[in-house]
Amino acid sequence: MSQAHYFPTIVGLCVALGGAVLPVSKLLGNPDSFTARVLEQGFLWMLFGLVIAIVILWEKQSLSSIGFRPQWISVVWGLLLVTVIIFVTGPVGIWVLKQSGLPGFKVGYSKLSNLPVWFLSVAVVTAGVVEETLYRGYAIERLVLFTGNYWWAGLLALTAFSVVHVPFWGWGPVLGMSISGIPLLVFYIWKRDLLACIIAHVATDAVGLIILPPVARVS
């Protein structure tokens, strides 16, 4: 990418990494209301559409430039990632969270307890598609242009992702989620397969927010 293309990329990074921190839900008064939650979902999809538009219309790049190369093997990789996260790094993240002494997931789950399952399902898909596109595919691929290194780009993107989730979940759960999500970061840098990461993200969130019984959640 030439110097002339850096400005749209900087704008794209600001949208991808910083857009989600805007207090959109607070505009309606009660950020925990169902209306505010719906607004948040719509806003995230707006950010997604804006970043895709920047890639295609302003940067003049294809979606493959942010790791989106749909293929059947992506499904296999996605399911393998789910297995690793649920049975390996997920438990490690929960153990580290407990050892840290920081508050667990209880506060975050309490905010979701009254939401209908259909809405949680929509939120899970939104998180998987939008967050992986913004913080994984776009952010990492474009930060590489400035850092010159995929690992530094990945760590910066992971940091931004973690900070965005602190207001809702708190530092403890974010610490646990960051550890459990390490396979996604390593896998993306290795294979650059955004679809596999999306599949894994959606599936693991579905387990944690919908399928997993409340009694099994970390207090």
pLDDT band at 74 (very low <50, low <70, confident <90, very high): very high
Average pLDDT over residues 97-107: 92
Question: pLDDT tens-digit profile of 157-213?
Answer: 999 999 999 988 999 999 999 999 999 999 999 999 999 999 999 999 999 998 874
Question: pLDDT tens-digit profile of 108-160?
Answer: 888 888 899 999 999 999 999 999 999 999 999 999 999 999 999 999 999 99
Mean pLDDT of the chain: 90
For every residue of the chain, DSSP letters joined together read: --GGGHHHHHHHHHHHHHGGGS-GGGGGS-TTSHHHHHHHHHHHHHHHHHHHHIIIIIS---GGGGT----HHHHHHHHHHHHHIIIIIHHHHHHHHHHHT---SHHHHHHHTTS-HHHHHHHHHHIIIIIIIIIIIIHHHHHHHHHS-HHHHHHHHHHHHHHHHHHHH-HHHHHHHHHHTHHHHHHHHHH--HHHHHHHHHHHHHIIIIIS-GGGS--
pLDDT of residue 111: 86
Cα Dmax for the chain: 54
pLDDT of residue 24: 56
Q: Is the pLDDT of residue 42 over 60?
A: yes
Of 181, 216, 213, 214, the closest CA to residue 200 belongs to: 181
Give, to the nearest 10 degrees, the angle between helix 171-180 and helix 150-169: 140
pTM of the complete model: 0.92
Q: Cα-atom radius of gyration of the chain, to the nearest Å?
A: 17
pLDDT of residue 195: 98
pLDDT of residue 93: 96
Domain map (residue ranges) of the chain: 3-216
pLDDT of residue 216: 45
pLDDT of residue 28: 56
Q: Is the pLDDT of residue 45 over 50?
A: yes
